[in-house]
């Protein structure tokens, strides 16, 4: 296992995060589309890791991708770890918090903005700070 700036036992993570967030952030789960509180949230601020509070995405990088999950066209520099994911019979790029290793979602090369990126993020994996 990789050594992150924030390291906790799985029991500690489960106690801190609760069952739903633990399933997403630590067990690489996915919330149902259109169910997350940040899917259609467009206030000014910063989206931070739901496990450790590390800033991940600026609100001005968020856009409505109509995919059912919060989408961003870029992450804050150095805040995301990218891992090849071959689960579910496809090849994707998993995105994780570089500070604690929490699973955030996946990034795709089909974004509509100049970056061409769509960071597809679970609402349960982030918090919002104004």
Catalytic residues: 120
DSSP-assigned letters across all residues of 55-115: EEEEGGGEE--SSSS-EES-PPTT-EEEEEE-GGGS-EEEEEETTT--EEEEEES--SSTT
Helix and strand counts by DSSP (H, E) for the chain: 1, 9
Calculate ∠ Cα 66-50-87, nearest 5°. Answer: 60
| DSSP designation for 23 | H
| DSSP designation for 12 | H
| Residue 69 and residue 57 in contact, taking contact as beta carbons nearer than 8 Å | no
């Amino acid at each position: 296992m990789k050594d992150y700036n924030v390291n906790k036992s799985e029991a500690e993570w489960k106690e801190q995060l609760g069952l739903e967030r633990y399933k997403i952030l630590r067990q690489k789960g996915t919330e149902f589309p259109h169910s997350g509180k940040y899917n259609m949230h467009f206030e000014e601020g910063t989206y931070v890791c739901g496990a450790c509070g590390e800033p991940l995405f600026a609100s001005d990088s968020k856009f409505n991708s109509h995919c059912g999950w919060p989408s961003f066209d870029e992450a804050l520099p150095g805040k995301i770890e990218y891992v090849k994911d071959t689960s579910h019979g496809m090849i994707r790029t998993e995105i994780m918090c570089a500070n604690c290793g929490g699973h955030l979602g996946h990034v795709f090369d089909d974004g509509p903005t100049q970056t061409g990126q769509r960071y597809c993020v679970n609402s349960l994996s982030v918090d919002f700070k104004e």
